[in-house]
Structures are given as C-alpha cells and as structure tokens.
Structure 1
Amino acid sequence: MAPLRLPPPGAQDPLDYPAVRLFTDRAVAVRHDFAVTPDNLAQVVGVCASLDGLPLAIELAAARLRTLSLAEVAERLDDRFMLLSRGSRTALPRHQTLRAVVAWSWDLLDPEEQQLARRLTVFVGGARVEAVRQVCDAGPDLLESLAEKSLIELSGGRFRMLETIRAYGAERLAEAGEVTATRAAHAGYALDLATTADAHLRTRDQLPWLARLDEESDDLHAALRWAADTGRLDLGLRLLAHLACYWWLRGYRTIGSHLAADLLERVGEEIPDGLEEEYALCLLTAGAEGRGGPRVQKWAVEVALAVRQRMPFRLEFLTMMLALFTGPPDEPMDREPLLLVATPWTLALSRSGDGFACYLEGDLPGAKAAFSESLAEFQAIGERWGMTQVLSGLQDLAVQEGDHVTALTLADRALGLAEELGASADAAEYLCRKADCVVHLGELADAEAIYLRAAERARRVGSLEMQARAHLGLGLAARLDGRPGDARAYTEQALAEVPDTWFSSGDIKVRAHAALGWLALDAGELTAAWSAFATAIEQAVSPIYLIGSSAVEGLAETARRSGDLDLAARLPAMMPAELAHVARSAGRQ
C-alpha cells in the first residue's frame, strides 16, 4: 500500500507525477471525454493528495467519475470510505473497496501495533517519539514496525499517518472506547509542551522554541479546541495562557483571537478560582483583535484595570497584554519593589512603558533615557520582540527631532529582528516605518515600493491594520508626488480597511482623516479641509493617542487661509479637549 509520488506545491508539470497520471488514466477509462486542463488541474492534484497518493484509493476515486463530476468527488472526500465503496467487479474481494483494503492491512497488525495505530490518530500533524511515548504509551520499536508496514511514515523527525489510514484508525479508536483517555493524554502533552516553551519565548532561546511550536501548532490548537468542546475549561485556559505569547510573537494574532473567543464563550463571565491571570489573558487575547464585539472589549478593559493591581504577574506575558488595554503607566513605576520579584523581561518591559509614558507627556529626554535603558535590558536577555518595541519608540523620538536618517536606521534594525522572529504583521509595520523615513528623505519612488511590499506582506497574513497603514503611506507618497487622485484613493482605501477593534488602529484613522484634510486644502476646499482635520482631532483625543500634529497644523493652516489669523496662532497651544471643542464648534458655523 505504498503511496505514489505526488507533485510538490508549485511543481512545473504535475502530470509528470505517478499519482496524477494514474488518476488521469483511470478517469479517461470511465469517461472518454475527461481531460486534465488548467481549470481542473488543481482539483485533480487535490484529490490525489487527499487520498495520500494511495493507488487503490486514486483508482476508486477516478472510477466514480462515471456518475459524479470531479468537483463532486473532491467535495465528498471527507467521507472517503462511503464515496469509494465500489471498485472493480473483477478484483479480489479485499481490493473491491478502500475500506476493505485498509481493513486487510490493519488485520495484519498484532494487537499492540493496532493499539498504537488507533491512538496515533489523535495527532493532527504527526508526532515525535517522545510525544508518542507520553500519549500512546509506546516506544520507537512499535513505531518502526508500523513504518515498515506502510501505516505511518517518518518525515522531518516526526511520524505521520496517512489521512486514509488515520480516518480508519479513528473509527477503531472509538470502537475500543479509548477516545476520551487518548485525547486527554494528547491535551496533557500539549499543555506540558506549551508551558515549557513559554518559559523560553522571552529569552535569547526564543527562535528554536518558536520553531518547535510552529511544528506542533496543529496539535496544540486541536488540543485547545478539544478542551473547549468537552468542557475542560481549566485545561483550556492554562493551555491558551501559555500559547498567547507564541501567537503574538509569531504574528498569529487572528488565529489566537478566534481560539480565545471560542473558549471564552464557554467559560462565560465567572472567573475560575486560581485562574484569574489565565482568564485575563484569554479575555485580552480575544478582545485585542475584536472578537466578541464591543461587549468583550469593554469587559476586557474592566478586567485589565482590575488585575493591574496584582502586578507582577505569574504569567509574564499578561504584563504586555495588559498595556494594550490600559495604556502606559500614568507615571514611571517604582522599580525598587519590582527588582525583588519581577523577571528580567518584566523589568525591561516596565522600563519601556516608562518611555512611552514620558513620550506621551512630551518629556522627550526622559523617554529617550527610559527607552535606552529598556533596550539594554532586552539585549541582555536576548529578547528580540521587546527590542523591536523599544526601537520603534526610539524611532518616534528621532522623527520628532527631525533626524530621519537615524529613524531609518532604527526602523531597519527593528525590521531585521521582526524578520528573525518570523512575525510578518510586525515586519509589515516596520516596512511602513522605514518607508515613512524614506518619504521624509525625498525618495518617493523608493518609498512607494516599500509600502507596496508592506501591503503585500500584510495581505498574506490577513493584517487589515497593517494593510491600511501601508495604503495610507502610499497615499502620502502620491500626494507629495503630485497625484491627488491616487492619494485620495489610497487614503480612502485605508479608512475602509482599518478595523474598528484594534487600539493602534486609532492612529491610522487620525492620520487618514488628516491626510484627507490636506488633500482638500490643496484643492482649496476649506470647509471640507476643516471638517476632515476636526474629525482627526476628535478621534485623537484619548488617553492612549497623541493629538495628531499633522491635523493640528492643518487646522491652523485652514484657519489662516480663512482669514482668522488669531485662531490660527492659538490652535497649536490649545489643550486637547479645548482643541476638539473649537474644531467642532467652528465646523458647525
């Protein structure tokens, strides 16, 4: 039952591969008008791959084209044993159906081999030897025996089961009454692995552990879903809490948010005793990407403010997630008490929070000192994600000082670290930051190319926020290049794309409305310009966001062009609330 070779992704000529040739030959035998074309090639390859390249399965699937379309065959492969239940009338009985041939091979196994084979079906992405030992209570000798009999295959250090065999084995697992016990063992293994890995994710060893979690991600997520579906909510909360940092560093935030929201729906609003931090991380992970709607986001802020008093936390990563909802501290934290109990990563993060607090207050020297100290602390422990955050703060300071060459260097450093982490959404952000600097340096064509790279990177990982950020940058570059039509189209696209649920998206909206204001001002449309700048300023008034300086400058310039020189002079010095009031009031006149 050895499988035939399948074309790898992107193969130049899939028809050269035995599995595809066999399907094509058998299909033509039952339907003389059948031909592989560019329109159906992907489906043919998909059917062969779904059937693991098994010759009998491919022959049976092709034979069903006598009465079904290719699309119908592909759709019904989820129940492959029912679909492929009729084969050649002249074949031996054991070869007449796919189920029969798998059963025949299965029956050749001894009881210990059958037990291992059925228990292996709980693994989604294959398993290392140590995982098999913990979950299936079996060692390498039995694994090698199954491999010799073509029931499993060894690839990249992991034993993987063909999906056809796995589907059959899952039925046998249920018959043996072992589903619950084996899945519980599988979830226990997932929790042990996630807990061990999480302790290394904020150290210089983070890259190999991120790679290990990537390798196991299908099984980690399957274990989490099983815990949620079967009401093992304590287990689910602990597992999710130790996966949250992995999702964040790797840029898998949408996946994590979906899983967190699903678990949260089952847990409800009652916080389990002793799992307050796990519950908070679950809530914040769901709320950060907007899952669950405004109710969950409001609830997340309330929980964040409540648990903030418990710092430092058992779960290090909760410190970072908390800051998303509560913002940086109102004033620099007293580090003396923290030195006694906090981890080096938490200390470095708290120092970066001091930097952002100083920046928001306009204390640029204090911000630079705090960021520099935080960067040194993150470098000492080798934690790349923390370094990127501090480098972005230092870049903002350099931009404030008009030093775009230094800002470009800092953006490049942050981009390199994000690339090392494999964090595509973060890399898209640093590409945008780099392009911003290039715009200020006057290289508009280069900047547009970088923004386009950022947009494509963001599109591939589904980051609407960074896609909007890139399109906003393209609008700025187009405006400066004298293409107002392109500038408006890109800016309106950014406004349409930016989600309403992500806190930093507020900055994109502020900048987009300000950009529309400048476009209106360029066109001499003073009323439209004032309205756009006023909208930007109103949205910027928040404990988290700085007032958009571009919008304030634009409002003052609009007032000057309208002949109100006194107002134009006073606007830049106004406090945020007064500024928003004036913007709204004048806009209604």
Structure 2
Amino acid sequence: MHVGILGPVEAHSPDGRISVGGPRPRTLLALLAIRVGDIVPLDRLIDELYGSEPPSDAANALQGQVSRLRRALGDAALIEFYPAGYRLALPAERVDAHRFAALAADGQRALEQGDPQAAESLLSEALQLWRGPALADVHAADHATRLEQQRATATSSLMAARIRLGKADVQEIADLVRQHPLDERLRGYLMQALNQQGRQAEALQAFEDAKAMLADELGTDPSEELRAVHLQILRGQTHRELPSQLTSFVGRQEELRRIAALTSRLVTLTGPGGAGKTRLALQSAGPDAIFVDLAPVKDVAAATLHALGLKETVLAPEDRLALALRERDTLLILDNCEHVIVQAAHLAQRLLTTCPSLRILATSREALGITGETLCPVPPLNPEQSVALFVDRARLVNPGFVQDRHTVDICRELDGLPLAIELAAARTRTLTTQDISDRLNDRFRLLTKGNRAAAPRHQTLRAVVEWSWDLLDSDERDLAAALATFSGGATLDAVEQVCGHDVEVLEALVDKSLVEAGDGRYRMLETIREFCSQHKRVDAEHTAYFHALARRADPELRRRDQVEWFTRLTAEHANLLQAVEWATEHDPDLALQFVSDLSWYWYVKGSRTEVQGVAQKLLTLVEEETTERYAILLALAAPERVPAVLTQLRGPIEQPFVLIAWAMLTGPPDPAAPRTDLQDEVERSDDPWVQGLIGFSNSYLTWARHGDRAQAIEQSRAALRQFQDLGERWGAAQVLDVLANLTEDPREALALTDEALRAVGELGAKEELAELRGRRADRLLDIDQDAAERDYLQALEMATQAGLAATRALANAGLAKIAQRRGEPARAEALLREAQQELGFGWMHAAAKQHVEEVLNELGPASKPPPFE
C-alpha cells in the first residue's frame, strides 16, 4: 500500500489505484498519512475533518468515516484504533510526503557537505514525487501550506546544486522567479545561471530588475547575499567563496609563517586525519582563493570546474580549466586529495605548466609526488596549543569551564590531534575532565559526538581514522595492523622481522601519514595505533624478536660498545616491557628467562621499581627453583627471599645482576663465616668483567677490614684498568667512587666523583647517578655547604624517580646535617625521622639506617628516636 498526498489524495495497492471515496474519506486518509505511524488524537481528527461545525455525535460520525475508509482500502488492519485515536499502520516511506522529506533532507545535507552531484540527484528524485499542489482535492490548508514551503526549499536547494554543477537551466529558474518574485535567493540563482552561460549583461540587468521590484513592493534594498552575487559578476568572479569558519583559529603560527615564506607554486600540507590541514589551508589563503573540496568527488577536474562556476563544454575539463586560469594570478586550494591522488597530481601538473601565475595549495595525507612540490607537514599541536584549543572549544559548550591538570593529560593522550581534542572538549558539557581522561582507553566510543553538519568522516574519531584505513591496500592494512602491536615504535629491522613486509609497504604508510618516520624509527600516533591494533596482533612474533634482542644485547652491555647497546635498548624500553608482560601471560617460562636477560639493563637504567609489578605477577605463575634466573626474579619481586636461594646456588654465574643483588642484600661477607662453593666459583671466573668486580670488592674489603689505604688504592687502580680496558663505564664508576673515598685530598675526591658521574651519565644509569650525586654532596659538605645542599636536593629528586629509599634516606640525612649547622634542629629531626620511616630490607638499607641513627645521635639525647624495629 502506498499513499500520495503531494497532489490529489490517492492510494495504491499492488493491484493498482484504489478508489478512496468522497471528500471526507480522502481528507481522513490525508490526515492520517501526514502523521503516518503516529496515533492521531480523536479530537484533532474531528476538528480537522469537520471544522467549526462538527455533527452532534462527532465521535460516531468519525467512526463511520473510518469504517468507510477501511472498506475502501480493503484492509481494516491498516487503520488501527487506540483509546486516544487512530493510526495509519504503514512505514513512513510508503507515504510520498514522508519519502519526499527524507530525500530532500539527504539532498540538503549533501549540498552542505560539498557534494552537489549527490545533492542534485537526491533533490531531483524528491521533487519528482510531486503530482501537483499538495492535498489538491481536500480541505487541509495549513498542511498544504507547510508542504508547499518544503517544496520551495527543496527547489531552491536543487537550483543551488545545479549552479555549483554549472548546469542550471535559465528558463526554469526564470519561471520560478515569476512564481516567487520576492525570493531573493532565486533571483541570485538566475543571475549566476545567466553569468555561467556567458550572459553577463543579462545577469547584471536581472539584479537591476530585482532591485527595482524590491524597492516598489517592499521599499527595501537587495540583501547582502544578492549584492555579493552582483559584485562577483562585476568582478568576473564566478567561483564559490571560501567556507566561513564558525570557531576561532588556535595555534599553528609556525606553520602559517612557513607557508607564507614558501616560494614554491605547489605546496602540499600533509598529515594524519584530524590534524587540521583544511583549517590551516583556509587560514593561510587570501579571500580570493578558489577552494575545491575533493572529499566527496570522483572527478577532480570536474569538481574544480564547478568550484570555479564554469560550465562544461566540448573541451575536456582540463583544457577548459587551463583556458580559464591561464591569465589569472590566484591560489587554487585542492582539499582532501588523498583518495583521488593520481587525478589531483595530473591536474596540478597540467595547470602549473600552462598557467604561469597560478599557485596551488593542496591538503592530503600523502604527497602528490610531482616535480616542484614542496611538502609542509602538519604535525600535532604542541602541548600549549593543545590545551589552548581544548579550553577554547570547551567554553563553547560549557562557558564556566576551567582548565585543570586533567586537561593536559587529555591533550597528551590524544597526541595533540586537533579534531580529537575538539571532540573531547565537546564532552565537557556532560563529563568532567577526569571522566574524559579515565575513558580515553576507549577513545573511539567516547569521541563520537561531533558537528552534525560536518562531513561524515569528521563527525567521530573512528570515522577520521577509518577514512585513512579505507584508502590502504591489503598489504598496507596488514602492515599497519601488525605495526600497531609495537608500543614504542620500531626500527626497520623490527618491522621486517616481526611484521613480514618489506620497506616499500612501510614507506607507503609513511607517505600516507599513518606512520611517522624519524631517527631511524617508525611510530604511530596513539590514536591511529589503537584503531589499527583492533585488526591484527603479532604479539608472539613481537615477543620473540625482542627476547632475541635482549639476549644478544646483554653481554654487550659490559663491553666497549655498551653506550650504543644501552641506547638501543632504551629506545626499545616500552617494547621490551610489553614483550615481558605478554610472555608472563602466555609463556611464564619464557618470561622467566626474559627477565633474567634484561636484569642488568633494568638495574643500570634504574627500572627495578617500574618492573616490580610484572615481576610479582610472574612470581605467582612459575614454580620455585634453585636457579640464577629465579634468584633474579626474587630480587625484583620479593628481595627478602633472595638470600635463601643464593646460599643454594652452585654457579657458574652468567648474569652479573645476581652478584649485585647479592652484595646489596647481604653486604660484605663475614670473614669468620665459612666460604661457600658459590664464592669460590665466582673468584675462579675467567670473565674479565667479573675479575674487575672482584678487584673492586677486594679493594673495598681491604680498606674496610684492615685500614690498609695504600693496598686498597693499588687494588682499586688495578680494577679500574680492568674495566677501562673493557670500555666498561659502570664498573669504572664504582672503582672511581672507592678511590674518592680512599684519597685524603678533598679536591681529588670531587674530581674522581665527577669522573664517575660522567661515566654513568653516558649510560643513563639512574640509580648510580642518584647515589653518586649524594656522595658528591657528602664530599662538598665541608667545602661548600650551599653547593652540597643543591647536590643533596638533586640526589633526593633522582632517588625519588628511581624508587631508591636508601639513597633518599642518605640525602635527607645530609640535608639534616646542613639544617643542624644552620641552627634548625627541628627541621633536621623531621628530615631524619622521614628517612627513618622509608628504610626497609637489605644490607644497603641497614647501612643507611645506621648512618641516620648516627646523625640523630649528633642532635642530642632529647632528639633520639626509639630504636629501629
């Protein structure tokens, strides 16, 4: 069943047209069809059916009309009765007025989004549903007027679409103007249509006719819109004005300066979706630029013709454009080239070679790739600009918005991507910044409420990334998804080994702004990475690759090229931790070995606190064993249990972190205690690094037990040569620190400490840097108290970052000494009590406790705290 009201009221069944009956049944059907699917109240039906003189028994009369209409339609179920009224039980699209409204709305939306071709098709289809005046044979004046207004609006939009397409019919528009002489928009379309056909004089006369008519009929002047069309025709400008912007422009000053300084005739703004390329292009362009939105089109040359307001002729579109632009000094903006990149490149090259004064500013997620092109990457906004944009957009929906600490977190998590920031800011109308920040791990669900009038690809964050994803071929999609497994970017070797694609595919992703290349690494913005990782994961391959890297790197970390290897592992820090976490979940035995292989790197880099969580989880998943790798896991997850395992180890020791953990947790061996097999095994080692460590340990013990300074210095220098021959900076720094303790010259001690700091600084060894900075402060205490205070504070900050409670305690003890000397005993005591509270298990903590207690004793008996538990 279909019902028509856009003309005489009629109904059609599959068997043909139905005779509805007289005026009352036709009016009743129309009233129900206007509100199809809704219950129309009884009193409204009576009022509209009978007017001001209803029958005495109106309800029964209405029921009688309904019965007649049901019989005419041949299906009583089509008109449903409810206590409140009657309902026409048809889908809305079975009524021509509702189908017209839907098509017209889609056509208007296409027109607003810059797709006149689609708009013309949709609006034409909508208007073809009309068979004459609405509700022509029934009395429903108000409804008819409303429908005719919708018809006029759709007709006006259809004319606008045809104007943009350069195929408006002058006679058709002139007829409409005669029917609606006061409609200035139609008169403007008539002027534009005449001008497009080269009839400029007639177009100008049409303006004068409109001006005279408005003065005679309304006593007014033409509107600003109509005067603008007139001015364009006078100037010979037929292209559309640049899209006006509804919000302020934030940031991008550096990019604007760069674009302004470029002398190239073809500049392409490149960057990922949502980076703000279009907005930047519009901001940098002058008012006379010609703007061509290529996102909704398939024919670049035709779209450019339409933007110029030119009509297609027997000439090819490229030739027509070349003739039109040959003598013009203007800027052509080709926006959103990525999905028609080949066409855009060909057209740009043709126009630039034939139009000497033409300049082109293109926006694309990849370069056009033609001679003379200058690329201007549009990077994410910097933190300051990101926050400024968020605050500006948030205040549009929430005038009382105040920036807080979560604002910065949100902008950082969204990679400084302008569209993502704007979508997040729009949520401040209903969510707090903390709510938004907490939900960014599901950003594609959160950031879904964009500008309804924007192009669909810019209405949600997912749509932005999908636009880029859909433009990739199968190999590019496969690599993008696999590359998203990497949490810290990847080297070319890692991409090839883990993802199984060659460099050409990777370069294509870089060209298309899905991947950033720099410093020999390939990275994705977190937003893009999160989207791509939903399509494929290569965690097992990723873990295997980085475990192999860790095993290969570990011995190199104690040799001459250690700086390069530490740098390489530091660059892969996030990937290494990710791989360990995956192995912990899926292959605990592999994870146990992986942790062992990384233990020296983690120790030197000061990452033990960072990895404690995954180590503790792994500890619950593996069986207890008397092995070196299990001792390492305990040192990271449960250090109080390490000594029991160390006493059972038999060697040989392959991972030096075992020896360091042994020393940190148990301290110097008791000379009265019987020697263990493990001690003998270590001292027999022919590993030069282990030999250097033994020499360092022996020098320390010689001084600590026997007070033989000269022999201790000789042993230290021998150990230092051992490490220096290896090119091993960590070991050298340890020995330099011992020599600084042994020397009786305070200036030499400082110089040795500074040399040690430089050595561990090259490695980025956080723990050693913090400890050595604290000992430098100790050595400055009697030389330059203010400088010592600065070093203690720096050591305290570094120890806090590295999670070193013992080093923090010693730094606080040093600051307490300075406070005591300055006559601030209360502050000194507070610092020492804070230090006392932080200390826990292990020899280093015990040594720090003893030092803190000694300084407390120096404050006097009244300040002495209770004994340590």
TM-score greater than 0.5 by the shorter chain: yes
- Matched with 1:102 is 465
* 1:408 positional shift: 3.2
The structure 2 residue matched to 1:416, chosen from 742, 753, 758, is 758
Residues 182-221 of structure 1 aligned to structure 2 (within 5 Å): 182-221=538-577
- Residues 509-534 of structure 1 show CA distances to partners (whole Å, capped at 9, x for unaligned) of 1111122222215xxx6xx76x97xx
Structure 2 SS opposite 1:159: strand
Is 1:125 aligned to 2:499, yes or no?
no
Distance 1:361 1:340 in 2: 23
The structure 2 residue matched to 1:3, chosen from 265, 269, 275, is 275
Rate the CA distance shift 1:117–1:413 in 2: closer, same or farther, 3 A: same
Structure 2 SS opposite 1:90: coil
The structure 2 residue matched to 1:379, chosen from 702, 706, 724, is 724
- Residues 59-81 of structure 1 show CA distances to partners (whole Å, capped at 9, x for unaligned) of 33233333333332232221112
Distance 2:750 2:589 in 1: 46
Contact map agreement 2:603 2:657 (CA 8 A) in 1:
no
Q: Which structure 1 segments of 5+ residues have no match?
A: 174-178, 540-589
Contact map agreement 1:304 1:325 (CA 8 A) in 2:
no
Q: How many aligned positions are there?
A: 490
Structure 1 SS opposite 2:523: strand
Is 1:433 aligned to 2:775, yes or no?
yes
Distance 1:8 1:87 in 2: 22
Is 1:518 aligned to 2:858, yes or no?
yes
Contact map agreement 2:469 2:477 (CA 8 A) in 1:
yes
* 1:163 positional shift: 1.8
Distance 1:476 1:24 in 2: 47
Contact map agreement 2:665 2:842 (CA 8 A) in 1:
no
Larger helix percent: 1
Contact map agreement 1:120 1:132 (CA 8 A) in 2:
yes
- Matched with 2:329 is none
Is 1:261 aligned to 2:616, yes or no?
yes
* 1:337 positional shift: 8.6
* 1:127 positional shift: 0.7
Is 1:344 aligned to 2:688, yes or no?
yes
Distance 2:855 2:770 in 1: 21
Structure 1 SS opposite 2:556: coil
Aligned partner letter, 1:100: A
- Matched with 1:149 is 512
Structure 1 SS opposite 2:275: coil
Aligned partner letter, 1:342: D
Structure 2 SS opposite 1:495: helix
Distance 2:648 2:676 in 1: 18
- Residues 435-460 of structure 1 show CA distances to partners (whole Å, capped at 9, x for unaligned) of 2223345x433333332232233234
Is 1:447 aligned to 2:788, yes or no?
yes
Aligned partner letter, 1:278: R
TM-score computed with the length of structure 2 as normaliser: 0.52
- Matched with 1:280 is 631
- Matched with 1:469 is 810
TM-score computed with the length of structure 1 as normaliser: 0.76
Structure 2 SS opposite 1:302: helix
Contact map agreement 1:329 1:353 (CA 8 A) in 2:
no
Is 1:78 aligned to 2:423, yes or no?
no
Residues 175-574 of structure 1 aligned to structure 2 (within 5 Å): 179=537, 182-230=538-586, 232-270=587-625, 276-284=627-635, 286=636, 291-292=637-638, 297=640, 299-307=641-649, 309-311=650-652, 313-329=653-669, 342-364=686-708, 365-398=710-743, 403-441=745-783, 443-497=784-838, 499-520=839-860
Rate the CA distance shift 1:305–1:65 in 2: closer, same or farther, 3 A: same
- Greater C-alpha radius of gyration: 2
* 1:7 positional shift: 4.6
Contact map agreement 1:404 1:440 (CA 8 A) in 2:
no
Structure 2 SS opposite 1:204: coil
Rate the CA distance shift 1:446–1:106 in 2: closer, same or farther, 3 A: closer
Aligned partner letter, 2:572: E
Aligned partner letter, 2:849: K
Structure 2 SS opposite 1:396: helix
* 1:199 positional shift: 1.7
Contact map agreement 2:498 2:542 (CA 8 A) in 1:
yes
* 1:132 positional shift: 0.5
Rate the CA distance shift 1:445–1:71 in 2: closer, same or farther, 3 A: closer
Distance 1:440 1:96 in 2: 66
* 1:213 positional shift: 1.1
Contact map agreement 2:542 2:579 (CA 8 A) in 1:
yes
Rate the CA distance shift 1:27–1:207 in 2: closer, same or farther, 3 A: same
Distance 1:456 1:339 in 2: 37
Contact map agreement 1:431 1:450 (CA 8 A) in 2:
yes
- Matched with 2:26 is none
Distance 2:843 2:681 in 1: 30
Distance 1:93 1:491 in 2: 63
Rate the CA distance shift 1:460–1:329 in 2: closer, same or farther, 3 A: closer
* 1:403 positional shift: 4.6
- Residues 526-559 of structure 1 show CA distances to partners (whole Å, capped at 9, x for unaligned) of xx76x97xx58xx9xxxxxxxxxxxxxxxxxxxx
Contact map agreement 1:2 1:150 (CA 8 A) in 2:
no
Contact map agreement 1:359 1:367 (CA 8 A) in 2:
yes
Rate the CA distance shift 1:283–1:71 in 2: closer, same or farther, 3 A: closer
Rate the CA distance shift 1:79–1:374 in 2: closer, same or farther, 3 A: same
Rate the CA distance shift 1:492–1:61 in 2: closer, same or farther, 3 A: closer
Rate the CA distance shift 1:510–1:187 in 2: closer, same or farther, 3 A: same
Structure 2 SS opposite 1:361: helix
**Which shifted more, 370-379 or 261-270?**
261-270
